Amino acid sequence: MDYLKVVFDVVGLGSDRITLEYCSAAEGAKYAEFTRSYTEKIRKIGPNPIFKKK
C-alpha cells in the first residue's frame, strides 16, 4: 500500500485515491460506514486528472 501511494503521488493521481481497510464478515456496520465515508471523500476529490483534460 505504501509503495502504491508513493507511485500514485509521483504520477499525479494522488495517494488519497487508494485505501485499504480491514473488515471482518461480522463487522457489517463498519463496512457500510467505511464505504459511505470513502465514497464521499472520492466524490469530493473529483474525477481523475486524465479525464479532466479532455
C-beta of 49: minimal distance to other proteins in Å? 4
| Phi-psi region at 37: left, alpha or beta (left = phi > 0; alpha = psi -120 to 50) | alpha
Cell numbers 480491514: residue: 22
> Among residues 43 and 52, whose Cβ is nearest to other proteins?
52
Binding segment for other proteins (CB under 8 A), chosen from 19-27, 30-38, 45-53, is 45-53
Residue type at 32 in one-letter notation: A
Length of the chain: 54
Residues that bind other proteins (CB under 8 A): 2-4, 6-7, 9-14, 49-50, 52-53
